């Protein structure tokens, strides 16, 4: 189908999440805050709403919630598709692409060379630069700048390393089918020297893609910094298909050493649940972080889709949303270092939300309890619950009595569940209807959930962002009910607040 011929009503278009106007997108690329603006580039097919013609699309935002789409930033051509990568602000003009007084932005991307070119079938790293703050881009004439002769070498994320070993650019990229992150160093972004490799480790049930490396304080302590290496893999996630894992440890300027590795070498499938995941849901992939965010905040976006069914989700004329922007931080949790995530987007800039629904201190009994006056399809739901005798309790969103997406806690199993088997349209792909679960812990016996519902998705942040599950759903536009439920007994709702955004 071509984008121009789209006719279906656009009822799934999210209000809070970025979508391209009428084309396909996948991975976020080149995330950077520059001159007061957040730039989101992304894998884009400018001509259609399925994967192909890979180029970098572009959008900007002042507040991480309202986005403006711009013309394609870096375009595929007869030689190459433009695969994923990153952007740095070359403030000292090390690359020479700008001037000392007007330093450039430099994009480092994967050239996926086409058949019949000088490097047929090869993936190698290339540069483009912008002298106008990221709106127009020129490809470097001496591309590629880093070629290992590999068909699976991609997704460079470049950071500025400033530490005991010196000050230089560091690239993390992948040898995707070797389950390896490769680290390189450069003074000028043009000539690269191999530093080390990391992996295989933990999950290796699919190719490794889109890595990232960043420093975070533990529990906000600037004296206690740890490095985090994130690696996306496809398939092989904890609930099938695409997902992202992370490792915490040290980077000495040459080598990343993980202190959280469970399995060295190839994956032990039985350990999948023991690895650390950026998100346990089915639809949070290729997540990477922004460069140069003020106040040292670490903000990430993931592609809200899964390669298992990505090209078939029933949206039109666009296909695939981005996730909400998340702030990640590192917490020492009984000796285990874990990422916690909160939504960073400033929802206040959407204007005053319409009336909220709230209740407090109510015991619910076995069954489903419709909340009159709480219906909606773009909402934030905040819930704290204390278990009673029920084996499972929680919320049903986007419901109509028959249809609905169930988000629940099973306290005796210490698990959170998102069940989208009855969520609406599921039959466009055999692996879409799913019940997905994640481990969840409580210290005081109660559970806290913050759920963002946005027309075609639920993003669940549990226990103040210790566990997240992100899932696409395709309900009827008339399925807007919100209910509470308990199965096999009681539970006490300590607090429930629902804020409507559209
Ligand atoms: C991840 C990925 C990347 C690649 C891009 C191509 O989703 O496969 O490894 O650069 O998508 O669109």
The rounded distance, in Å, linking the Cα atoms of 407 and 420 is 9
**Which positions are annotated as active-site residues?**
27
pLDDT value for 332: 96
Q: Which of 127, 126, 128, 125 is nearest to 153 (CA)?
A: 125
Cα distances from 406 to residues 118, 398, 469, in angstroms, run 52, 9, 12
352-500 under CATH 2.70.150.10, yes or no: no
The rounded distance, in Å, linking the Cα atoms of 267 and 270 is 9
| Terminal C-alpha separation, the chain | 30
Nearest 5°: phi and psi at 425? -65, 125
Ligand 1 binding pocket, CB closer than 6 Å: 26-27, 43, 54, 83-84, 110, 154-155, 209-210, 286
pLDDT value for 5: 39
Please state, for a pLDDT cut of 70, what percent of the chain lies above it: 98
State the distance from the centre of ligand 1 to the C-alpha of 43, rounded, in angstroms. 8
Which residue is listed with tokens 């079938």? 121
Per-residue pLDDT of the chain (502 residues; tens, 9 = 90+): 344 334 457 899 999 999 999 999 999 999 999 999 999 999 999 999 999 999 999 999 999 999 999 999 999 999 999 999 999 999 999 999 999 999 999 999 999 999 999 999 999 999 999 999 999 999 999 999 999 999 999 999 999 999 999 999 999 999 999 999 999 999 999 999 999 999 999 999 999 999 999 999 999 999 999 999 999 999 999 999 999 999 999 999 999 999 999 988 887 778 889 999 999 999 999 999 999 999 999 999 999 999 999 999 999 999 999 999 999 999 999 899 999 999 998 787 777 777 689 999 999 999 999 999 999 999 999 999 999 999 999 999 999 999 999 999 999 999 999 999 999 999 999 999 999 999 999 999 999 999 999 999 999 999 999 999 999 999 999 999 999 999 999 999 999 999 999 8
The burial class, CB within 10 Å (0-12 / 13-18 / 19+), for 162 is: exposed
Nearest 5°: phi and psi at 455? 60, -55
Please report the atom of ligand 1 found closest to the CA of residue 112: 10
Report which secondary-structure segment, H or E, holds 206.
none
Please report the atom of ligand 1 found closest to the CA of residue 285: 7
The rounded distance, in Å, linking the Cα atoms of 225 and 217 is 4
The rounded distance, in Å, linking the Cα atoms of 349 and 56 is 27
- 144 CB contacts (<8 Å, ≥6 apart)? 111, 119, 124, 125, 126
Ligand 1 pocket: which of 85, 86, 286 to mutate (most atoms within 8 A of CB) = 286
Residues 288-320: tens digit of each pLDDT: 999 999 999 999 999 999 999 999 999 999 999
What's the topology of domain 8-343?
Tachylectin-2; Chain A (2.115.10)
State the distance from the centre of ligand 1 to the C-alpha of 209, rounded, in angstroms. 7
pLDDT value for 63: 93
pLDDT value for 349: 77
The rounded distance, in Å, linking the Cα atoms of 168 and 162 is 7
What would the DSSP string read from start to end of 37-49?
EEEEEEEEETTBS
The burial class, CB within 10 Å (0-12 / 13-18 / 19+), for 286 is: buried
pLDDT value for 131: 98
State the distance from the centre of ligand 1 to the C-alpha of 87, rounded, in angstroms. 16
Domain positions in the chain are 8-343, 352-500
User: Do 234 and 241 form a contact (C-beta atoms < 8 A)?
Assistant: yes
The rounded distance, in Å, linking the Cα atoms of 224 and 246 is 19
């Amino acid at each position: 189908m071509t984008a121009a011929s789209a006719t279906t009503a656009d009822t799934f278009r999210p209000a809070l999440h970025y979508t391209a106007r009428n084309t396909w997108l996948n991975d976020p690329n080149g995330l950077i805050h520059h001159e007061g603006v957040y730039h989101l580039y992304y894998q884009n097919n400018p001509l259609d709403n399925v994967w192909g013609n890979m180029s970098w699309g572009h959008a900007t935002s002042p507040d991480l919630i309202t986005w403006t789409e711009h013309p394609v930033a870096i375009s595929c051509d007869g030689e190459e598709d433009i695969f994923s990568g990153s952007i740095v602000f070359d403030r000292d003009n090390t690359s020479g692409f700008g001037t000392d007084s007007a330093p450039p932005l430099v994009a480092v991307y994967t050239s996926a060379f086409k058949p019949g070119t000088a490097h047929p079938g090869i993936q190698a790293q290339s540069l483009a630069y912008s002298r106008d703050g990221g709106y127009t881009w020129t490809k470097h004439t001496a591309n590629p700048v880093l070629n290992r002769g590999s068909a699976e070498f991609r997704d460079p994320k470049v950071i500025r390393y400033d530490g005991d070993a010196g000050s230089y650019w560091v690239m993390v990229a992948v040898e995707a089918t070797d389950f390896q992150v490769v680290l390189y160093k450069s003074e000028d972004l043009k000539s690269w020297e191999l530093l080390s490799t990391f992996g295989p480790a933990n999950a290796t049930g699919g190719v490794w893609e889109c890595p990232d490396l960043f420093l975070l304080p533990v529990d906000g302590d600037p004296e206690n910094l740890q490095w985090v290496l994130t690696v996306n893999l496809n398939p092989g996630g904890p609930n099938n298909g695409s997902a992202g894992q992370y490792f915490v440890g040290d980077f000495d300027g040459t080598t990343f050493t993980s202190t959280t590795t469970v399995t060295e070498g190839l994956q032990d499938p039985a350990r999948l649940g023991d690895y650390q995941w950026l998100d346990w849901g089915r639809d949070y992939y290729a997540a990477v972080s922004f460069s140069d965010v003020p106040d040292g905040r670490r903000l990430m976006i993931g592609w809200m889709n899964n390669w298992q069914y990505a090209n078939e989700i029933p949206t039109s004329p666009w296909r695939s949303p981005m996730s909400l922007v998340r702030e990640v931080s590192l917490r020492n949790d009984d000796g285990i270092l874990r990422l916690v995530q909160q939504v960073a987007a400033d929802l206040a800039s959407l204007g005053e939300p319409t009336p909220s629904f709230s209740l407090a201190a109510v015991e619910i009994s076995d069954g489903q309890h419709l909340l009159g006056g709480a219906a909606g399809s773009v909402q934030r739901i905040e819930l704290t619950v204390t278990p009673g005798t029920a084996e499972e309790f929680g919320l049903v969103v986007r419901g109509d009595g028959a249809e609905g997406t169930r988000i629940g806690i099973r306290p005796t199993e210490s698990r959170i569940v998102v069940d989208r088997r009855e969520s609406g349209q599921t039959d466009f792909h055999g692996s879409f209807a799913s019940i997905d679960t994640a481990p969840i812990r409580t210290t005081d016996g109660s559970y806290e959930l913050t759920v963002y519902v946005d027309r075609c998705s639920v993003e669940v942040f549990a226990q103040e962002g210790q566990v997240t599950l992100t899932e696409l759903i395709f309900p009827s536009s008339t399925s807007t009910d919100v209910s509470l439920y308990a199965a096999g007994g009681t539970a006490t709702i300590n607090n429930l607040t629902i804020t409507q955004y559209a």
